[in-house]
Amino acid sequence: MKRLVSTFALAAALAGFGATGVMAAGTGAGPTDEDLLKSAGNTESVLTYGLGPQAQRFSPLTDLDTDSVKKLVPVWSFSFGGEKQRGQESQPIVYDGTIYVTGSYSRLYAVDAHTGEKKWEYNHRLPDGIMPCCDVVNRGAAIYKDKIYFATLDARLVALNRETGKVVWNKKLADYQAGYSNTAAPLIVDGKIITGNSGGEFGIIGMVEARDAETGELIWQRPTIEGNVGTLKGKDSTMTGKLNASWPGDMNKTGGGATWLGGTYDPETKTLFFGTGNPAPWNSHLRPGDNLYTSSTLAINPDDGEIKWHYQTTPHDGWDFDGVNEFVSFDLKKDGKVIKAGGKADRNGFFYVIDRTNGKLINASPFVSKITWAKGIDVESGRPIYVDENRPGAPATGGEHDAKGTSVFSAPAFLGAKNWMPMAYNPQTELFYVPANEWGMDIWNEPITYKKGAAYLGAGFTIKPLYDDYIGALRAVDPKTGKIVWEYKNGAPLWGGVLTTAGNLVFTGTPEGYLKAFDAKTGKELWKFQTGSGVVGSPVTWKMDGEQYVAVVSGWGGAVPLWGGDVAKKVKDINQGGSLWVFKLPKA
Amino acid sequence: MRMALLVAGMVGTLPLGVPAVAAPVPRQADPLGSVMWEAVRDQYFGDAPVVFDDAVRVIAPAAAEDTRAVPLAVDATALDGVVEMLAIADLNPFPLVLRYHPGTSAPAFATRIKVQQATAVRGAARTADGVWHVSGMLVDAAGGGCSAPPVSYAQKDWADHVGEVQARLWPAGQDGIARLRMRIRHPNDTGLVDGIPAYFIETLSVRAETAGGTPELARIDSLEPVSENPVYTLDVRPPPGATALILHGRDNQGGEIRATIPMPPTGAQPAMSRMRDPRRSIGQ
């Protein structure tokens, strides 16, 4: 008996030691609201999509710099497995020695950051009838407390226990059979998980929604199209805009404006920024008016979903320019003042600098070489100066019902001067690094009527590269002047996100399969690594065990091979894949 | 380390009067001669005492007609104080079919299971003294029940109907036992078919709706080998004054299953009160 008692004492002591060890490793409660708000300065983890709620994609780490980056070496690579090798557009989340990364076809993996060993995998059972327009991608997960979250192609939001991978809850966001889907990383602010939606090609209504991150219960909804009514705590709240102010008849009920890229959050002004997609249908002659709030940036109060201000980049969009591009908050230092600004590289070819407290335009300048649809943006009114003859013509009426309208050659192409791939802002160089593409399109309108779950375009199109030697161009844009400071030209279109660091570096991937590093001041290419398939994901960096790490997913796909027209010959020989690559700078 | 904790735990619990297992039960040879028995016993029963006992009745076909849906009934009503039941198919890639927690219900259930190849199929019942009573029979089968694509994969509209419940409750007999049968639309994918993720019902709980609350009558922890669109038959004991039964379940992807099962209409007759089929003797 005496012996048993002493064994018990030993066991208790060891159990206590074990608990302390767990706490020291930090696996306890997980990231808090405060941790997420301050995630931009956190070099030990990557807690948010965009490396901080403002999504500057800037890391203060300096171990890697313009000299040492040449010594960056791969540590391990993790395969997503299966035959589901489609576009991998994810940004990894890194926390407490685990990397959480999403894959094509609504898959989520937890991988040991040290070894690359899989901890668990969640493989969402997708219905046969999903309708993603632009490949079966996913752009990333969100982490909060003990859970990890991601949205799926059948328009559901899944919360999993981040240690075990067991599903905690699974909520329907929208009806996938009406064309809704979801590919963006969710955003978590003050215990709310905030999502947009996808499906702008199917005549859906764009929506921003907030749910309780613990339970998944809906808190508020904000439709992006005027005349539709939002909800707050289960009751109708306010109407978005004013009914029929900028939409004819009942076309606002199928008006598009999908918030398919998710949003960013500025803790200083306590404001959510969501870009809204193109109006539906593409044929603009069917919907005279500005078509608010499509092709816009909406500033939204995270508490109740009310719109604080909006800025419409392409009123009465007739080119599928969309306006969904991320709005990145930054401090604009100009004329001795610091202005709370935001930058947005729009699909329509202009780089906008906007006062983020009120939505007023500060300046707008082209970041691609050719823009045919507008001569410029009037800074006073904030509106484009249209080139009317570059709007594709109305389909012929009477007689030939299926006669297409006048075709025009327009630049940028509908895949955008910049598409989904997120840019980065470096507060040290005070430059934005924008992954741009130089292409145009023949576009014409066709008659169309709305049918649930069917493509609602009313347009035909084919994309053409503008130049023989390159389509992609990574450009450093000075937000003070709108000038392009340097550029890197790439043969295939750029389709991956950008990362910048205090080590004076810029990282991005190419469809040709390289992850590349550039000098942030000069654009000089310093390092590259061939990952085996096209890189269309967003790189991240963090520090672990005293060494700086870089991770990126590899796997060619996305909208270009599906919609790229003439661009196909530049990308047809790229092999598909699906893997996570991790690099580090070894200790000296 | 773990051993020490276990010993310490036993020291702590003994004075509370929990009956300790009396004499260790010697390991018996498997009457079915299954090559997997030793592994199955270690995995699912651990160090608990196991006896082969005819009191547990297992009913299944001698040869499976459809390896994706082989009927299986396990009846332990001949034993007193059953707290948990298992169904096991030894040679399945996932041998454990389900765990049944009968609660206030009769210790008997029936369902349909996938069988990957000819195998011993077992039923086990744990009595309050901690002893597992095991019985079983051999089911001959052509291969592939667990790894062949499910029928629903070919049905484009499975997602429209997933989680739908068809159920019937028969009136209680004189013993207070009422037959409940339910069928749930669900692909119940094992994850072994190439390109189809694991997607199966994990938990099912049957409660009674009464003026005083919703007491649980029975609970099933269901697993991959249960057939597509699973069917479960239970003998529940609805409390007096029950106005309906409530089924609440969840699949491994967080999908919710909810149904309210009405009490039987007046004039309905009780179902056959016994699951066991007197025409088939279960081989030991």
Ranges of beta strands (E only) in B76-169 are 82-89, 96-101, 108-113, 119-127, 132-139, 165-169
Residue A13 lies in a domain: no
Cβ within 8 Å, pair B195-A84: yes
Q: How confident is the model at residue B268 (pLDDT cuts 50, 70, 90)?
A: confident
Annotated active-site residue in A65, A320, A322, A346: A320
Which pLDDT belongs to residue A17? 39
At residue B13, the 3 state secondary structure works out as helix
What confidence tier does B241 reach under pLDDT thresholds 50, 70, 90? very high
Provide, as residue numbers in chain A, all residues whose Cβ is less than 8 Å from the Cβ of B151: none
Q: How confident is the model at residue A401 (pLDDT cuts 50, 70, 90)?
A: low
Any idea which residue has 């705590």 for tokens? A233
The count of domains in chain A is 1
State the DSSP code for B264.
P
> Which CATH number fits the domain that encloses residue B114?
2.60.40.2470
Helix, coil or strand: residue A37: helix
- CB atoms A158 and B253 under 8 Å: yes
Residue ranges making up the domain that contains B113: 55-262
Residues 6+ apart with CB under 8 A from A62: A501, A502, A503
Q: Is the separation of the CB atoms in A416 and A321 below 8 Å?
A: yes
Specify whether A317 is catalytic: no
| Residue pLDDT, tens place only, B50-97 | 999 999 999 999 999 999 999 999 999 999 999 999 999 999 999 999
What is the per-residue pLDDT across B107-143, written as a single tens digit (0 to 9) for each?
Answer: 999 999 999 999 999 999 999 999 999 999 999 998 7
Q: Would you state the pLDDT for residue B282?
A: 43
Closest Cα to residue A581, out of A229, A189, A80? A80
CA distance A316 to A294: 8
pLDDT in tens, A171-218: 999 999 988 999 999 999 999 999 999 988 888 999 999 999 999 999
> Which of B7, B195, B198 has its CB closest to that of A7?
B7
> Between vectors from CA A304 to CA A299 and to CA A310, what angle results, nearest 5°?
20
B204: in domain: yes
What the block records as the tokens of A462 is: 């084919």
CATH number of the domain where residue A511 is located: 2.140.10.10
- Give chain B's domain count: 1
Residue B272's pLDDT band (cuts 50, 70, 90): low
pLDDT band at residue B19 using 50, 70 and 90 as cut-offs = very low
User: Does some domain include residue A189?
Assistant: yes
| Contacts by A391-394, CB closer than 8 A, 24 or more apart | A391/A284, A391/A318, A391/A319, A392/A283, A392/A284, A392/A318, A392/A319, A392/A443, A392/A444, A392/A445, A392/A459, A393/A285, A393/A444, A393/A445, A394/A283, A394/A285, A394/A445
Interface predicted TM-score (ipTM) of this complex, two decimals: 0.80
Q: A123–B189: do the CB atoms touch at under 8 Å?
A: no
pLDDT of B281 > 50? The answer is no
In a domain, B115, yes or no: yes
Return the number of CB contacts < 8 Å for A and B.
55
Domain of residue A414 covers 32-584
The answer to whether residue A20 sits within a structural domain is no
B138, part of any domain: yes
Structure tokens at B129: 């003294």
Which residue of A105, A108, A125 to mutate against B (max B Cβ within 10 Å)?
A125
Matching residue, tokens 């106005």: B243
pLDDT band of residue B172 (cuts 50, 70, 90) is: very high
- Residue A365's alpha-carbon distances to A155, A379, A384, B116, in angstroms, are 36, 10, 11, 65
CB atoms within 10 A of CB B159: 19
> Stretch A111-135: mean pLDDT, rounded?
93
Helix boundaries (H) for A444-584: 560-563, 568-571
Residue A312 in tokens? 């419409």
Which helix (H) or strand (E) is A142 found in, with range? strand A142-144
B254 at the A interface (CB within 8 A)? yes
Name the token pair of A78: 């993790």
Bridge partner list, A212:
A192
Question: Is B217 a member of any domain?
Answer: yes
Pairing of strands A525-530, A98-103: unpaired
Task: List, for residues A501-550, the tens digit of each pLDDT value.
Answer: 999 999 999 999 999 999 999 999 999 999 999 999 999 999 999 999 99
Q: Do B156 and A129 touch (CB under 8 A)?
A: yes
pTM (2 d.p.): 0.88
**Residue A25 falls inside a structural domain:** no
- A11, A83, A129 member nearest B8 (Cβ): A11
The percent of residues above 90 in pLDDT, for chain A, comes to 83
**Amino acid code (one letter) for A105:** Y
Q: Please state whether beta strands B50-52 and B132-139 pair in parallel, antiparallel, or not at all (unpaired).
A: parallel
Chain A CA closest to residue B5: A11
